[in-house]
Homo-oligomer: A and B are copies of this chain.
C-alpha cells in the first residue's frame, strides 16, 4: 500500500468518507509542486478531529478534492501552555513560532515589552508558520498565534488560574520548585534581547515562578526552546 508522505492542514471537518475540497493554494501545492495525482494519499488534520488518510479524488490546477479514508491518529492536544515572547528579528521570530509548535505550546502570544524593538508582527504569517511546523512535526494540533499585546496590558488582564514561569537571567538554580507548583494552566514568558526591564522583572517575580536557564546568556530563540523543555519535563507531557 502506498503511504501518505505529505501532511496537510485543512479547515474542514474530517471523518471517514468525508470529502475535503482544496483551495487554490492547496491544489497548487499538492498537484503542481508535489506532483500528486488521483489515487495518491495525503495525511490530513484540522486541529480538531485527529489525522485521517485522504485519497486524491480530483486533481486540478486550481482546485481539487480528497476523500477521507480511515483515521490514522487520534487528536492529541498539547498541554494548556501559552508561550508569551517578545518578537525579535524576523527569522528568529519565525523560528520561535516553529519551535513552540514542535515543543507543544497551545497558544503563542507575542508581547511588546519595554525593550522590544519590533512594534508590529504579521499575525497571519506567523500563524501560517505554525501550520507548517505542525504539518512537519506530525502533530494533530496547531497552536493559536494571538495578536501582539503590550506586556502591561497582558498582565493587567491576567487570568487568576494561569500560572507563569519566566526565565530570570539574574538567577542560578531554583528550577526545583517548579515541579511542586502543579496546576494545569501555565504560561512561559521569554524576554526580548536585553531582557525584561527592572519594573517588568519585579512584577513577574511577584506573580510568577522564576527559573534559571544556566550561567550563559541565551538568545531569545534559544531561551524559548530551553524553557519549553524545562516546563515539559517538569509539568508537561514528556513524563
Do the beta carbons of B76 and A222 come within 8 Å of each other?
no
Do the beta carbons of B173 and A239 come within 8 Å of each other?
yes
Chain A residues 67 to 122 lying within 8 A of chain B, measured CB to CB, are 76, 95, 98-99, 102-104
Do the beta carbons of A222 and B219 come within 8 Å of each other?
no
A217-B137 contact in complex given A229-B229, A233-B230, C-beta closer than 8 Å: yes
A103-B137 contact in complex given A229-B230, A230-B229, C-beta closer than 8 Å: no
Do the beta carbons of B103 and A222 come within 8 Å of each other?
yes
| Chain B positions within 8 Å of A136 at CB level | 219
Most chain B CB within a 10 A radius of its CB, from A99, A139, A175, A236? A99
Interface size counted on chain A using CB atoms at 8 A: 34
CB distance from A210 to the nearest CB of B (A): 14
**Number of chain copies forming the complex:** 2
| Chain B positions within 8 Å of A175 at CB level | 233, 238
Determine the residue in chain B with the shortest Cβ distance to A239. Answer: B173
C-alpha spacing A104/B232, complex, angstroms: 21
C-alpha spacing A172/B76, complex, angstroms: 15
A226: Cβ under 8 A from any B Cβ: yes
| Chain B positions within 8 Å of A148 at CB level | none
CB distance from A122 to the nearest CB of B (A): 20
A183: Cβ under 8 A from any B Cβ: no
Do the beta carbons of B219 and A137 come within 8 Å of each other?
yes
A137-B225 contact in complex given A233-B175, A233-B230, A239-B173, C-beta closer than 8 Å: no
C-alpha spacing A136/B175, complex, angstroms: 25
Task: List residues of A whose CB falls within 8 A of some B CB.
Answer: 76, 95, 98-99, 102-104, 136-139, 172-173, 175, 212-219, 222, 225-226, 228-230, 232-233, 236-239
Closest CB pairs A-B (n = 5): A229-B229, A225-B225, A214-B238, A226-B229, A138-B217
